[in-house]
């Protein structure tokens, strides 16, 4: 089980918060904090599972980063 603090947050920071942060392109869906990510866990799972996020004009998500996010999201996005 990936840890939010150790594993998940750095991946979100690299691949998602360039847009999902205050001042970013999609600032109405903040993923900069645990609460923001937890509140969006279901749509995040859908988007990542379908390879829709990050979009092609965003930073790449590595296969390892994708696996980390999915493993955390399918377990309910715990604060671990």
Within positions 20 to 59, which residues make up the interface with ligand HEC, using CB under 6 A?
20, 25-26, 29, 40, 43-44, 47-48, 53-55, 57-59
Distance of CA 43 to the CA centre of its chain: 10
Tell how far CA 52 is from the center of its chain: 12
Q: How far is the CB of 7 from ligand HEC (least distance, A)?
A: 14
Least spacing, CB of residue 79 vs ligand HEC, in Å: 17
- Taking alpha carbons only, the member of 31, 38, 29, 39 closest to residue 15 is 31
Least Å from the CB of residue 30 to ligand HEC: 11
Please tell me the distance from the alpha carbon of residue 76 to that of residue 73, in angstroms, as a whole number.
5
Check binding of 8 to ligand HEC (CB under 6 A): no
Respond yes or no on whether the N-terminal peptide bond of residue 54 is cis (omega within 30° of 0): yes
Binding site for ligand HEC (CB under 6 A): 15-16, 18-20, 25-26, 29, 40, 43-44, 47-48, 53-55, 57-59, 61
């Amino acid at each position: 089980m990936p840890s939010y603090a150790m594993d998940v947050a750095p991946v979100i920071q690299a691949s998602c918060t360039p847009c999902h942060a205050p001042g970013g392109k999609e600032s109405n869906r903040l993923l900069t904090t645990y609460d923001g990510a937890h509140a969006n866990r279901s749509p995040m799972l859908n988007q990542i599972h379908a390879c829709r996020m990050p979009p092609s004009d965003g930073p790449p998500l590595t296969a390892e980063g994708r696996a980390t996010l999915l493993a955390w999201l399918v377990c309910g996005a715990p604060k671990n």
